[in-house]
């Protein structure tokens, strides 16, 4: 029984709490192992009242998946007085180590998918980790150069051409090759998820998708050629469409996914629909990775009130995608 690994996220945030809540939830049906600090998890268990036995293991093959027990691949060493709800370089370094071990396990096929609880970008920077977020960490550690971020709910799937960078630099990073790569990644992922001929809308960059060059040439000269090339490859891509309406059309069923050009263009509509059910999926990796679509929520850390719904949804998506993933040697 190959499990899914959950990294518990930043120890100072809500990650440990929602991890335990998800493990205790009767809706969880897939076997899991948690990568994290057993002391932090034990204290989180007292906060949320899940009454789970925290069972440290050193390798996946030691997991027993016993009811009422959480098998934890122990990455211990954090102090008992680590503050909750605060930035801490030690927490940033630890959260990176959890992800690194998760990647190693996934690459070795010891787990069939990786699900990540939230990390904090500033805590990473404080610890000297040179990455802006999960997506870039996962891509670098796995040697992946062709990747993209998808945010998904039951109503909408959004894939981003550019992710964690300023809007000024993001515009320069939108190239025909990059847009085409993201369309292809989206097509392959949706096919693996069970859609034989997914319909992919591509959002324009400028107002009204540029109005045929009236409001900028990027949509005509950069995005449209990528769409045409994808169509020539048999992909059901369409656009560029005005971004102020294309997400509503996708939600209504006209498209299976929308390729958005920059971070806020794509994430505002999907998060508006409710972050508690959203899932972050990294496309292009040599393994399945999903995550919550929210942050570390330092303002409520330690209260025991954090909602695990997004993490449960991430587990469901990871299970579905990894069940359909091709068998690797």
User: What confidence score (pLDDT) does residue 153 get?
Assistant: 86
Pairing of strands 289-292, 279-283: antiparallel
Order the strands of the 69-74 sheet from edge to edge: 53-57, 69-74, 32-36, 4-7, 113-116, 289-292, 279-283, 148-152, 157-160, 257-260, 199-203, 236-241
Q: How far is CA 104 from CA 173, 280, 317, 322, in A?
A: 30, 20, 21, 17
In CATH terms, 154-273 corresponds, of 3.60.21.10, 3.40.718.10, 3.30.70.980, 3.40.50.2300, to: 3.40.718.10
List the one residue out of 107, 99, 102, 85 whose CA is nearest residue 129.
Answer: 99
What is the pTM (predicted TM-score) of this model? Answer: 0.87
Q: Please return the burial class of 77, using the count of CB atoms within 10 Å of its CB with bins 0-12, 13-18 and 19+.
A: exposed
228-235 contacts: CB < 8 A, separation 24 or more? Answer: 229/176, 229/180, 230/180, 230/183, 230/184, 230/187, 230/200, 233/184, 235/183, 235/184, 235/187, 235/200
User: What confidence score (pLDDT) does residue 186 get?
Assistant: 96
Q: Is 86 in a helix, a strand, or coil?
A: coil
Q: Where in the chain is the domain with CATH 3.40.718.10?
A: 1-147+287-329, 154-273
User: What confidence score (pLDDT) does residue 326 get?
Assistant: 46
User: What confidence score (pLDDT) does residue 328 get?
Assistant: 37
User: What confidence score (pLDDT) does residue 241 get?
Assistant: 98
Low-confidence ranges of the chain (pLDDT < 70): 274-276, 324-329
Largest distance between two CA atoms of the chain: 63
Secondary structure element (H or E) that encloses residue 202, with its range: strand 199-203
Q: How far apart are CA 3 and CA 30, in angstroms?
A: 7
Contact call for residues 89 and 126 (beta carbons, < 8 A):
yes
Q: Please give the backbone phi and psi of residue 291, each rounded to the nearest 5 degrees, phi first.
A: -155, 170
Question: What digits encode the pLDDT tens for the residues 62-79?
Answer: 999 999 999 999 999 999
Architecture in CATH of 1-147+287-329: 3-Layer(aba) Sandwich (3.40)
Q: Is 68 left (phi over 0), alpha (psi -120 to 50) or beta?
A: left
User: What confidence score (pLDDT) does residue 308 get?
Assistant: 95
Q: Is 210 in a helix, a strand, or coil?
A: helix
Q: Is 34 in a helix, a strand, or coil?
A: strand
Q: Please return the burial class of 26, using the count of CB atoms within 10 Å of its CB with bins 0-12, 13-18 and 19+.
A: exposed
Secondary structure element (H or E) that encloses residue 113, with its range: strand 113-116
User: What confidence score (pLDDT) does residue 327 get?
Assistant: 38
DSSP tag of 63: -
Q: How far apart are CA 158 and CA 280, in angstroms?
A: 10
């Amino acid at each position: 029984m190959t499990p899914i690994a959950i990294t518990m996220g930043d120890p100072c945030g809500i990650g440990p709490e929602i991890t335990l809540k998800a493990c205790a939830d009767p809706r969880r049906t897939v076997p899991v192992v948690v990568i994290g600090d057993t002391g932090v998890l034990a204290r989180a268990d007292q906060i949320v009242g899940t009454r789970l036995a925290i069972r440290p293991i050193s390798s996946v093959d030691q997991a027993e998946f016993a009811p009422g027990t959480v098998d934890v691949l122990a990455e211990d060493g954090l102090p008992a007085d680590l503050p909750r709800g605060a930035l801490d370089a030690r927490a940033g370094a630890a959260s990176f180590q959890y992800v690194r071990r998760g990647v190693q396990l996934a690459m070795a096929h010891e787990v069939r998918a990786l699900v990540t609880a939230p990390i904090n970008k500033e805590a990473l920077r404080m610890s000297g980790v040179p990455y802006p977020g999960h997506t870039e960490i996962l891509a670098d550690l796995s040697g992946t150069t062709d990747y993209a971020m998808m945010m998904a709910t039951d109503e909408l799937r959004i894939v981003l051409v550019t992710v964690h960078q300023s809007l000024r630099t993001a515009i320069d990073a939108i190239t025909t090759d990059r847009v085409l790569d993201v369309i292809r990644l989206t097509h392959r992922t949706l096919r693996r998820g069970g859609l034989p001929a997914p319909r992919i809308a591509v959002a324009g960059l400028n107002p009204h998708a540029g109005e045929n060059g009236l409001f900028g040439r990027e949509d005509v000269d950069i995005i449209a050629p990528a769409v045409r090339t994808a169509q020539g490859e048999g992909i059901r891509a369409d656009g560029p469409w005005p971004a102020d309406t294309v997400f509503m059309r996708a939600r209504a069923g006209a498209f299976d996914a929308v390729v958005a050009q920059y971070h806020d263009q794509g994430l505002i509509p999907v998060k508006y629909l409710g972050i508690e059910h959203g899932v972050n999926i990294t496309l292009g990796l040599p393994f399945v990775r999903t995550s919550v679509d929210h942050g570390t929520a330092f303002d409520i850390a330690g209260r025991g009130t954090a909602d695990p719904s997004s993490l449960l949804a991430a587990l469901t998506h990871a299970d579905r995608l990894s069940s359909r993933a091709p068998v690797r040697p």
